[in-house]
Structure 1
Amino acid sequence: MQVIQLHHPYEPNQIPNEEVVMVLGFFDGVHKGHQKVIETGKKIAEEKGLKLAVMTFNQHPSIVFQKVLPENMKYLTSLEQKERLMANLGVDILYIVEFTSAFAQLKPQDFVDQYIVNLNSAVAVSGFDYTYGPKEIAGVKQLPTYAQGRFEVVTVPKEEMTGAKISSTRIREKMEAGEMEEVTELLGYIYETEGTVVHGDARGRLLGFPTANVKVKSTVRLPRIGVYAVQIEVGGKWYVGMGSIGHNDTFGEGRDLTVEVYILDFHQDIYGEQVVVRWNHYLRDQVKFNGAEALIDQLKQDERDTADYFQQSEDK
């Protein structure tokens, strides 16, 4: 997959000189609804013998429109994760447009001319709720007018599950509720967090449960605080573990939020390793215990519950 970063105004020589089917959207999470839109584009591209292109943005538009601080924006998928998911869906060209104030000021017709027509789009594919400006003048209904017959417009209807639209908002709500199986259903894959193993306070080791302290970017959206049955990828291999998102309140108030993983039957030193954590199943909320012994008893139960969960998953 070719990845092309565009900064407005872009240089025309950045654009491959071939017609494409262009799929439009922000695609945070690249969930099943997004996948339906991209797969629709892929099918059309194969029928027409064209390459499949996707256009997304480097950051959420609300950073420009609502002046949200970039470090306060929480994403389901990082750009790197988004790139991998797009490549897996068979995308040939991924355009990452820098969402700047100058780009945001484009009138709908100018956006269509410069970012659909001039990117050699024979067909533009989007979800039913895609906008490229104020929704009353820049929605999918108006797109054929702006197209002026220069490209075909295909709109993909909403994808539903259990009677409600599959959306990034719905996924975030399910994550906040700890309903990770529902999150997996909506995404079409188990939710993942990438990070680096760093030194912690080694308290887990003293308790007999040495944990990998995983440092994640501030822009990563984590599931709700609590303890989870997880999988963790270390050095290209997957292991089973129990993951904790919390403040370790048993050992004091006001502690920073941490991500820790106790890997079952694992004894390697992995400081500095890049890891991926899959949040398979929510076990329990974070609890403040009356001391180390009560915490150790609970951790032993968490370990049993984690092993049971993965055993049952294998048996299904």
Structure 2
Amino acid sequence: MKIIKNLGSLNEDGHQFAVTIGNFDGVHVGHQTILKTILDDCKKDGLELVVVTFEPHPIQILKPRNHFLINSFTEKRELLRNVGIKYLCEIDFSRDVSTLTPGSFLDEYILSCKDVKRIYLGHDFAFGANKSGDHQFVREYCQPKNIDVKLLNEFTLKEKCVSSTKIREALSLGSVEEVSKMLNRNFFISGMVVKGEGRGRKIGFPTANIRFPAERIVPAKGVYITRTQLGDQVWDSLTNIGNNPTFNTGNDIFVETHILDFDGNIYGDEITVEFIKKIRDEKKFESVNHLVDQIKKDEVLTRDFFRGQR
């Protein structure tokens, strides 16, 4: 995949291009379906598709917040590559960019490539100052330049709309099975394993504590059946998300994974945890013994689940 910052750098590429613009956070099933439809449409007309997105996500500049993004930018690149995208334009988003008029934005970042012949726009996508760059504006602006503008239909799954916002809402409820349907894959968190307090090992259930970017969203507090990828291997696992209320009184969110039948030292290693099913909410136990009893029950449920999958 060729990654650029401005379509102007494609003027020497020898192709004619189509463009679609969006944040594509999560690259969910709606994104996947629409992008594949656009790719097929472009292939018929001999056009190369360029996906235009923003780095960082505009919300991180205009209204910064933690636990918002479904994927990191590196993960989004890989997900787009898997869909079949060959050209990705990552515009450096800033407050200056946010105040550009729609015409100025198009001239500077999109129409700087003289070989752009078509623009595909999402049904609700708007850009530029005050979101004034809607479909009608782009069509009128591009008509004298003989650039075709196509409006994309909203994607629905079993008569329900699919969007990054819907996915965030489902994650906030711990509904990871519903999220898997909307993503067309399991939701995952990747990060480095860091040292914790070592309490899990002391009670017989060692955990890998994941350090992940603060802007990444995590599912609701609770215990989940998960799979953990370490290098080329994938292990069955059990993951807790929460504040460890039995031991802690703070509000920090921890992601701690107990990898079944594994006892290696993986401090400093990168792992990826896929969330499959929520078992229960997080709770504060009266004693460590009560906690241990519950974890044993959680482990039995997890083993039974995977046994049923095989």
Q: TM-score range by the shorter chain?
A: over 0.9
Counterpart amino acid of residue 27 in structure 1:
F
Residue 45 of structure 2: aligned partner: 48
Correspondence for 1:226 among 216, 222, 225: 222
How many angstroms does 1:14 deviate by?
Answer: 6.6
CA distance in 2, matches of 1:183, 1:198: 27
Residue 265 of structure 1: aligned partner: 261
CA distance in 2, matches of 1:224, 1:16: 48
Correspondence for 2:286 among 290, 293, 308: 290
* CA distance 1:32–1:16, shift in 2 (3 Å): farther
8 Å Cα contact 2:19-2:118 kept in structure 1: yes
Q: Does residue 21 of structure 1 match 2:18?
A: yes
Give the TM-score normalised by the residue count of structure 2.
0.93
Q: Secondary structure at the match of 2:3?
A: strand
Residue 192 of structure 2: aligned partner: 196
RMSD: 1.9
Unaligned residue ranges in structure 1 (runs of 5+)? none
Q: Secondary structure at the match of 1:214?
A: strand
CA shift digits 1:90-148 (9 cap, x unpaired): 11111100111221222112222233322332211121111113677421132210112
Correspondence for 2:167 among 162, 167, 171: 171
Counterpart amino acid of residue 174 in structure 1:
A
Residue 157 of structure 2: aligned partner: 161
Give the TM-score normalised by the residue count of structure 1.
0.91
Residue 118 of structure 2: aligned partner: 123
Residue 108 of structure 1: aligned partner: 102
CA distance in 1, matches of 2:244, 2:103: 53
Q: Secondary structure at the match of 2:174?
A: coil
8 Å Cα contact 1:112-1:146 kept in structure 2: no
Residue 4 of structure 1: aligned partner: 4
Overall identity of the aligned pairs, in %: 32
Q: Secondary structure at the match of 1:189?
A: coil
CA distance in 2, matches of 1:40, 1:229: 34
CA distance in 2, matches of 1:301, 1:203: 18
CA distance in 2, matches of 1:108, 1:84: 29
* CA distance 1:89–1:13, shift in 2 (3 Å): closer
Aligned length: 307
Residue 82 of structure 1: aligned partner: 76
Q: Secondary structure at the match of 1:249?
A: coil
CA distance in 2, matches of 1:191, 1:16: 39
Unaligned residue ranges in structure 2 (runs of 5+)? none
